């Protein structure tokens, strides 16, 4: 197995990017965030921004209906996973085992295509956040759904001419991916079991070490582990570098500013750069989206020593999750090679 070259993997790609999506991000995310913050509704602004952010990532498809399906099903998947995770967090053994089996099924259905994989990962992310909740009260979550609904409405009305955010020849659509997977492209049970064990191990290590939020370690593993081990190594390297640099920039912002409005303006600008960052590659996209999320936490009031501690844990979460994914991928590769006939 050849290891990917590390430094070339961080160089910006020369893929085309859609400038129309900058206008979409401005209308859906940046302007509402700024208006809410200027009116003193800081918590609502940050939670609304989270809903918009996670919905924009699902906005792909050649037709309005395809885009709406991808977004609506993605948010529904996130909510479903979160609800199951909440049940599992209440020491419900049956639901815990259901969650473990669910990750096996999620991993089995990987490799069909980008849109379907996003839906599957959203189920897993929701479950992990629900099982080890972020420190947000449940009554603060409705603005997240408002942000998601707002994004779907703006996206469908705005409908930029080129709304495929990737250099793929065809825009991702979950139903097409499902058909491709059912024709034999799914990753299969071995990868499903590997994914479930890797995520469980990540959560267990994070809980043992008393990290700030064990869910983030499991999410890091879920985001980078792929059936192709070389691809896993490449993604974990790119993601770790992007998250680390974003954390350093966020640390500088938290040191310089102690008022929510600068964080609002920084999130405003960073979200406009997301389409360009996406076209440059995973390292740049991880840098940009991590920084947006950090600034949303700043708007919620996180700064000073609490911000520094959160950033330290964020880098550690990504490192541990990436290591778990790398080891799991190596184990899967080893088992596959042993099963091959001589």
208 confidence band (pLDDT: 50, 70, 90): confident
Rounded Cα distance between 241 and 90, Å, is 35
Of 40, 35, 39, whose CA–CA distance to 265 is shortest? 35
Asked if the structure places residue 213 within a domain, the reply is yes
Residue 39 is assigned to a structural domain of this protein:
yes
Give pLDDT, residue 4: 55
Are the C-beta atoms of residues 124 and 187 closer than 8 Å to each other? no
Under DSSP, the state recorded for 186 is S
Name the nearest CA neighbour of 246 among 300, 323, 310, 321. 310
> Looking at the predicted structure, is the pLDDT value of residue 166 above 70?
no
Q: What is the pLDDT of residue 167?
A: 56
Compute the mean pLDDT over every residue in the chain, rounded to the nearest whole number.
83
For position 80, what pLDDT does the model report? 92
Q: Whole-angstrom Cα distance, residue 337 to residue 342?
A: 9
- How many domains is the chain partitioned into structurally? 1
Q: For 15-28, how does the pLDDT look when each residue is reduced to its tens digit (9 = 90+)? A: 777 778 888 899 99
Structural domain contains residue 270: yes
> Could you tell me if residue 1 is inside a domain?
no
pTM score of the predicted model: 0.88
- 83 contact partners, CB below 8 Å, separation of at least 6: 126, 130
Per-residue pLDDT for 148 more than 90?
yes
- The region, left, alpha or beta by phi > 0 then psi within -120 to 50, assigned to residue 304 is left
Collect all residues with Cβ–Cβ distance below 8 Å to 95 and sequence separation of at least 6.
84, 87, 88
More confident residue, 329 or 1: 329
* C-alpha to C-alpha distances, 272 to 36, 132, 165, 184, nearest whole angstrom: 18, 31, 13, 38
* In the chain, % of residues over pLDDT 70: 87
Residue 67: inside a domain:
yes
Whether the per-residue pLDDT at 342 is higher than 50: the answer is no
Domain that holds residue 195: 17-161+169-339
Mean pLDDT along residues 186-192 = 88
Confirm whether 2 is domain-assigned: no
Is residue 55, in this structure, part of any structural domain at all?
yes
**Rounded distance between C-alpha atoms, residue 202 and residue 214, angstroms:** 8
Which residue in this structure is represented by tokens 């990504």?
318
Does residue 312 surpass a pLDDT of 80?
Answer: no
Cα-based distances in Å from 82 to 69, 181, 342? 20, 25, 45
Structural domain contains residue 9: no
């Amino acid at each position: 197995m050849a290891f990917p070259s590390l430094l070339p993997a961080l160089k910006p790609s020369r893929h085309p990017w859609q400038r129309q999506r900058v206008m979409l991000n401005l209308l859906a995310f940046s302007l509402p965030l700024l208006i809410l913050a200027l009116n003193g509704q800081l918590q609502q602004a940050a939670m609304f921004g989270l809903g918009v952010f996670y919905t924009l990532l699902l906005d792909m498809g050649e037709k309005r209906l395809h885009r709406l399906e991808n977004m609506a099903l993605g948010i529904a998947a996130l909510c479903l996973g979160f609800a199951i995770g909440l049940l599992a967090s209440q020491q419900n053994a049956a639901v815990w085992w259901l969650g473990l089996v669910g990750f096996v099924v999620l991993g089995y259905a990987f490799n069909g295509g980008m849109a379907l994989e996003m839906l599957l990962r959203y189920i897993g992310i929701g479950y992990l956040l629900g099982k080890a909740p972020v420190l947000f009260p449940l009554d603060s979550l409705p603005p997240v759904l408002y942000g998601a609904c707002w994004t779907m409405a703006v996206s469908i009305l705005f409908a930029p001419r080129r709304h495929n955010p990737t250099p793929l020849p065809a825009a991702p659509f979950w139903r097409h991916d499902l058909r491709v997977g059912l024709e034999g492209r799914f990753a299969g049970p071995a990868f499903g079991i590997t994914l479930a064990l890797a995520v469980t191990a990540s959560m267990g290590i994070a809980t043992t070490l008393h990290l700030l939020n064990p869910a983030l370690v499991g999410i890091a593993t879920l985001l980078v582990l792929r059936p192709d081990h070389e691809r896993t190594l490449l993604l974990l390297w790119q993601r770790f570098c992007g998250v680390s640099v974003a954390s350093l920039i966020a640390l500088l912002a938290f040191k310089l500013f102690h008022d929510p409005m600068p964080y609002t303006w920084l999130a405003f600008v960073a979200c406009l750069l997301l389409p360009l960052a996406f076209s440059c590659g995973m390292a740049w996209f991880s840098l940009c989206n991590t920084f947006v999320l950090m600034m949303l936490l700043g708007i919620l009031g996180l700064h000073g020593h609490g911000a520094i501690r959160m950033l330290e844990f964020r880098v550690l979460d990504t490192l541990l999750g990436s290591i778990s994914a790398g080891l799991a991928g190596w184990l899967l590769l080893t088992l596959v090679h042993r099963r091959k006939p001589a």
